[in-house]
Every structure is written in structure tokens, then in C-alpha cells.
Amino acid sequence: DLSNSLQRQQEKDPQTQSLPLWKQFDDRFFFNKHMLSSLIELNDSRMDPWIVPIIQGYVEFVKCPQEYSEPELQNLPSYYEIILISRRSRHRAGTRYKRRGVDEDGNVANFVETEQILLYHRYALSFVIVRGSVPVYWSQPGYRYRPPPVLDHSKEENFQAFKKHYDDTFTKYGSPIVTINLAEKLGREKVITDAFFDNAIAYNNEHLLFVCFDFHEYCRGMHFENVDVLVRSIELSIRSMRYCWFDSEGMVCGQLGVFRINCIDCLDRTNVVQTAIARAVLEIQLTKLGLVPPEQNLEEATKLSFQALWANNGDVISRQYAGTNALKGDFTRTGERNLSGMMKDGMNSASRYYLNQFRDTLRQQIIDLVTGVATDDYNEITNIGEDIDNPKMQESSSIIGKEDEEQQVKNIIEDCKKLLIPNLDDVIGAWGLIDNDPASTDPRQEDMDTILILVRDSYYVAFYDDNSEKITEFQNILLKDVEKIEFGIPEKDTFNLPSFRTKRRDEHCIRVHYKMRNESGEEDLGYFHSFRSTNLRFFNNVPVTVTSEDERIESLKSIVDTLSVTIELGTNSTPVVIYGKLDKRRSKVPLDLKSSNTSSSVSLRAVGNKALSKFAAKLNPMKLRNSRPDEDNNSGEDDSVRGNENDPSIFSDFLSPLDAGVRQLSRSSDNIQ
């Protein structure tokens, strides 16, 4: 029975074990159940031999030689076997961008139960670990290479689906459920991470342990070995969860709860972390059986076999969901990251984009047919792709692309407001703009790289890096320090030859001049922020695509008017506003630019101090790291320090320094700070 773990098989009722195989099969993993439904509905025992259930997933086993003992002296086998079984759920089955999040029954996309089995002599040891999409309603619509995630449905609907998912998970696996979220805490994935955590708080179950490990942040620069920091931090949970162990006499012990691991796709980052946890469990099991001395690492041949086993598993799960092998597979397979692996990842990423645009719609509808999900008429399925060159379809794609861009800009601005503004009620307006400082910007830049946020007594300028998808720096200027506002077209460069002319040189821009105080406390002038418009204008803080140059100018004028009125109301003085041609000048470089990481790296959200106290005494005290990666992706410290398990800054702002390894969630209004 490939659908049930060894522990579930051992815990079956004796009467159940006498039933036909298909009736014992775990319904979640009975992938061809709909295809056999006509036989099942006959309710005839003569059909039992013809009802052959199958799983979708992966199965492999390897033999590993025993290296550390002399089995011939003890009349024991000279090898042990490792078996890996992955079972994909038939509920919410499908392809990467077509199936995300949760459904109304609490089923999540790409839910896979993976069981690692160790067989030696008359002993069988099993450890189960699961993965699955973030259990809220979300999607990634659009035609971009990496479309931003978008939350769907209301908060209440999201919570109800979240609750159904975790209620079912607790029923099937017991407690605790250790949830490890590998998605980013900033950037485009932040909206999903925040929704996940907020619903976990609302769920209010003391047996739900939540760990947020920003994989991309801490493993940047191909330092995937830093996953060991996470594993060491949750070592207590690994040992207390135990594993299933039985012999010829019966069950010795059972696994308590399960690790639930996810990233956005539940593929590449999840593979790396699941492999690391599975290896830690395997080392514990081998030590218990006396096959490996305490504190001893796996023998090299065994380690390579183990890594290949999990790498193959990751590749197959990835092909079933995304259509290509897993990314970062070279690290899972060899324990090292190399240039060849990076090039393969680039090819696989491009292949995933192609498959999503041209193949996944057909694949999804075929999967829906196989699993019994209501789908379109088959004739419509066979016509997919035939009208890809149709002008109407291209026009529709263009409209969707614009809507996608507008939504992404809106999400970035909203995230920036939440990150920088303590009280969102103070926000007067927020705009996505382009930095027009000639000393530091490219005049051909067309994408938003600056966010201007106006509040009652000041304004914020945040600088956005599209490559890292993060706010890198920001500056806060009091409205009383604004000297004047200019609006017009800057003078052209002296060497503005025809071959060097660009359209952007002739565009209107805004200059906001402000004063600062030098080291002696005297007012220092010569500072300004310069902005020009993107291809989006903002109407009631909602981004709308610009269709003409007049709209672009009106959009900037409305910003000038809003700034002017807010300054007048906030300072009781009329600001100087100058319209006309702007002289050619450069701003002085301000010294008070702040890194966005500094303000958010350790913002501690303490939740349920009473619940945390149960774990605080068991975990090592951890020091806060003040140095954070700068805009050049330098860590600010030697690489040898990066793997320090006493560093909670690898975790999201949800973790306190006393429980950087594991967060036990329990809500109490008296304890929430």
C-alpha cells in the first residue's frame, strides 16, 4: 500500500486490513479514483481485482553498505536500505501557475507527503514530512516572467479555508505541526508571508509551531549550507517529534506530529530544507541502531546515495508541478553549488515560463479530466494554442499585462507604506516615480525606482531596486524643512548631440528643495529630490496607465498641488512653488539615508508570552546581529560568521530572540505587544 505510511498501516484497525487494497488506500493519494469510478459505483466485490489504485509521486530505494561496524561478527546484514516514497494529493492537483493556494475544502496545491524509510535487519524506521502551498486564497495572474502573488477573497474566507486545512492536518498527523515558511519576508512574496502568519495567529492553536526562514535572504550568494543554521535551531523539535519504529514484535514508538514546509512553489527551496531535515533524522536513526557512532557524519558513499535519492525526488515532484527539474538541484545532489548548476537553473526557469504560457493550460485541463474536476468541453481543450497569433488575443494579453503592472506597483507602494509609516492614517498620498537626479540615474529609465509618501508633517522618499524587489534605502524630510518646489523641464546638457538625445530629457519633473543641518547645527542648503513620471499616474492612490503626455504632466502637477497644500496646512506658511524651465544642477548627497533592513530586521512581534515561556528555557539565548547586508549584497561580516546558529536575524520579524528556532503560536490579548 503505497498511499499509507508505515505508521498508518501499523495503526489500522484489524478489520480494515482484511478489506480490498483499494478500500484501504488513502483517499487523498488515490490519483486514478475518478477514472475507476464506474467500477467503484457498481459496488460489486467481483470488481475488486480490477480496481487497481495508483499514486502520483515518486518511489526509489538504495542500498548502503555498513561501514562503521563488523556485521559478520554479529551475523547481521552488511547493508541497510533507504526508501523514499512521495505521494501527491489528487485534490487541487495541477500545474504551477494554474493551481495555487487553497480551495474551499482546505485542500492546498502541490500537497506532497514524503516518507523516508530505513530498513535494517528486522527493524523498519519511518519519518514523514509534508509540503503544500500557503493555505490561503492566492494566485499569480498575468503574463510577466515572475508575476507578483495576489491575495484573493476576503479575510474571513481566507481564515475559514486556513482553518479547514490545519484542522484536517492535525486530524491526520497529530500534534505538533511545525510549519516552516521559506518565502521572503520582504519583496513580492511579503503579501503571502504576512497573510500566512496573520491567519496562524488567528487560528490560535498552541500546538501549531511557526518558523519563518527567509531562504533567499540568508542563503544569498549560493550559501545554501546556511540551511544547517535552521536545522540546528529546530533540533529540539526534530528530536521531540521522533519517528515511527517497529520490529517483528510490533511498534516501538511512533512519530508525533509532522513538519509542514513551504515556499512559494513548494519546490526548490522546499527540496533543500526537506533534505536537510531528513538527513538529520537519518543520522539520529542510524545512531540509535548502532550503525553510525554518535556525533559521526554519514560515510561519504552513503551521503552521496542519500543526496541523489532526494535530488531525484525533487526533480520528479518539480516536473509534475512545474514541468522542469528542480532548481538548486546541484546542491541537493552534491552538497555544493556551482556554475553549471546556476546555468541549468537559468534554462529551467526559462522553460518554466514557456510551459506556463503555452502548455500549462492544456496540461491543467487534462489533469482536471483525469481527477474528475469540472472542466470545459473537450473540443475547447483541443483548440488551445491555435489562435495564439490572433490579434484579438494579443490585444487581450496586452491589457492583462498592463493590469498586471498596475497591480504590482500598487502592491509595492502598499508594502512600502506598511514598512515605513507607523500610522497609515497619517498618509496623505503615495506615488511611484522615477528618480531624476542627473548625477545618479539613467535618463532612459522607464520603470519605477522611487516611492514618494506624503504624511501630515513630512514626506518619505524610498528607493526601490527592481532586481532584488526590495526597498533598499529611504529618507524622511520634515515639511518645515522644505525650501521650495519647482516644476518644469530641466535644461539640456551642453553636449546634447542628436545621437545622445533621449525622449526623457524633455520630460517635466518635480524638484523638492529641502534644507539640512550640518555638524555644527547650521542650516545647509543645496539638497533636493527630483522626480519624473512613470507610465502610470495615480488617481485616488490607484495606479492607472498613462495614455498621453498631457496625462503625465497633469499627474505631476497634482503631486505638486498636494505637496503645496499639505505644507501650508502643516506649517501654517505658504510654500514657494516655481513653474518654468529648471536650471541644470545636482543635489548635494545627503548623509541621513537609512537602509530599510535596519528598521525591519528585528522588529519583534511578541505573540503569546505564556506559550513562549515553555520553549524559552529550552533554547539557547541568541544575540541580535546588528550588521545587515547592504545594497551591494555584502554581508558586512566575514563569511565564516554567516553560519552562526546564535543569529536570529536569519528569521523573519515574527521571531523573538529567545525563540528564534521555533515559534509557538497562542494568542492572548494581554500578551500581544
Q: Give the pLDDT of residue 274.
A: 96
Tell me the CA distances in angstroms from 523 to 111, 474, 519, 526, 643, one per residue in order: 61, 21, 10, 10, 45
Tell me the CA distances in angstroms from 595 to 424, 440, 475, 512, 628, one per residue in order: 20, 18, 9, 22, 9
Domain locations in the chain as residue ranges? 1-55, 61-293+607-626+637-673, 399-494+501-595
For residue 403, is pLDDT > 50?
Answer: yes
For residue 261, is pLDDT > 80?
Answer: yes
C-alpha cell belonging to residue 23: 478500500
For residue 264, is pLDDT > 70?
Answer: yes
For residue 476, is pLDDT > 60?
Answer: yes
Question: Which residues fall within 8 angstroms of residue 261, CB to CB, at 6 or more apart?
Answer: 129, 130, 131, 179, 180, 182, 270, 273, 274, 277
Report residue 632's pLDDT band, with 50, 70 and 90 as the boundaries.
very low
Residue 626 phi/psi, 5-degree rounding, is -85, -35
Find the mean pLDDT for residues 522-533.
86
Question: Model-level pTM?
Answer: 0.65
pLDDT tens per residue, range 29-69: 999 999 999 999 999 999 999 999 999 999 999 998 887 66
Q: In this prediction, what percent of the chain has a pLDDT beyond 70?
A: 70
Report residue 194's pLDDT band, with 50, 70 and 90 as the boundaries.
very high
Q: Give the pLDDT of residue 535.
A: 79
Q: Which CATH class is domain 399-494+501-595?
A: mainly beta
For residue 574, is pLDDT > 60?
Answer: yes
Q: What is the rounded CA–CA span in Å between residue 47 and residue 63?
A: 38
Find the mean pLDDT for residues 445-462.
86
DSSP state of 267: S
Report residue 327's pLDDT band, with 50, 70 and 90 as the boundaries.
low
Q: Which of 71-85, 413-427, 499-513, 628-642 has the lowest mean pLDDT?
A: 628-642
β-strands 244-247, 138-139 pairing: unpaired
Q: In this prediction, what percent of the chain has a pLDDT beyond 90?
A: 34
> Cβ distance 532 to 578 under 8 Å?
no
Q: Which residue has the higher pLDDT, 611 or 477?
A: 477
pLDDT tens per residue, range 297-312: 888 888 889 999 999 9
Residues in a beta bridge with 64:
80
For residue 82, is pLDDT > 50?
Answer: yes
Find the mean pLDDT for residues 333-352.
64
For residue 284, is pLDDT > 90?
Answer: yes
Find the mean pLDDT for residues 111-122.
94
For residue 663, is pLDDT > 60?
Answer: no
